[in-house]
Amino acid sequence: MFPKEIKIEDLLKFKEVSENKYYSHLVDPLYMKYQELYYETVFINKSVFLNNDNLILIPITLNNKKYSFYGNPIKIISENYLSKIDYLQIQKYFKEIKSEKLFIFQVKDENNLLNNNLDQVEQIFYEINIDLQESIDQIKSNFSSNTRNEIKKNYEDIKYEIIDVKNYKKNQIFEMMKLHIKISGKKTRTEETWKQNEKMILNNRGFLIKVTLKDKLVSYSFFFYNNVTCRYFSSVSNREYYKKIRNIHHKTLWTAINFVKGKSKFFNVGIINIFNKYDISEKEKNIEKFKKKFKGKNSKFVVLNSFPNYNFYKKFIIG
């Protein structure tokens, strides 16, 4: 069977999508709208499926002649192991799509890819997911010893406030936006994207953690969540306070983890690059060092700039 088109709302009917910790947030209408506002474009659904002996779902969108899934690499969702026949059908399908596109595959062992210095490889990374179904003590025990010490510390007159649908005040998200502009010295995204973050909060799909020192604003962090995953979305802090309060971000994440435990199954801290074709900044490297301290159940992925042939798939992806 050749791939057939499927609507986004129909994709959500499959637990392989709606309960997948990689995809569950990507198919949320509020998140999809955020991506359109962020990229200042409209993403046209081109998702397809195959249903032979194995159900295969391929969420895809088109914008500006580029294929992705709302700006993310294309990922194949398969109910069972991909047969060679199915794989070749998918390969044929993507060969006929003449446009720029990236693909993402989960891998068990990245060394084979790294040692062969392959041109197709754009990025190899692992994603840190904390299992919120574990006890708080179990979750904490996985952290680095430095992180465990930092979350114990309490500084005088510091307040960590959770702001969600219950106590959110209209336009409060713009306090975070203004702090972001002040700290970065520029406007990095449109006001509409911040309004969409507000909609996420009002629809019980997001929350803020506000940090103050004697009522002076120190930091804001925004988190997106659903019943599958909570994702560390964005953060901004006044660095003037870093020397005095050394654990702002440690305590913020710990506060968020405690808040969503029982609401989501996983807490996504973010990704750590193992390999990147392009240089990442020192700031990004420092953020990754911080994230590494929050150890969880890590999944490794490779991003490729073309759909691999079956021999490549067998040798490097599932080999």
Within 214-265, strands assigned E span 216-225, 229-237
Q: What confidence category does residue 1 fall into, taking pLDDT thresholds of 50, 70 and 90? A: low
Query: Considering just the CA atoms, what is the radius of gyration of the chain in Å?
Result: 21
d(CA 4, CA 1): 8
pTM equals 0.92
How far lies 152's CA from each of 88, 155, 215, 255, 265, in Å? 54, 10, 22, 12, 24
CA–CA distances in Å: residue 297 to residues 3, 138, 259: 33, 12, 20
d(CA 134, CA 228): 14
Task: Tell me how long the chain is.
Answer: 319
User: Of the CATH numbers 3.40.50.300, 3.10.20.30, 3.40.630.30, 3.30.1490.20, which one belongs to the domain with range 134-264?
Assistant: 3.40.630.30
Show the tokens assigned to 260: 């969503």
Number of C-beta neighbours around residue 51 at 10 A: 13
Mean pLDDT of the chain: 93
Query: 28-47, pLDDT tens digit by residue?
Result: 999 999 999 999 999 999 99
CA distance 243 to 219: 14
Looking at residue 319, its pLDDT comes to 59
Domain boundaries, given as residue ranges, for the chain: 4-126+301-317, 134-264
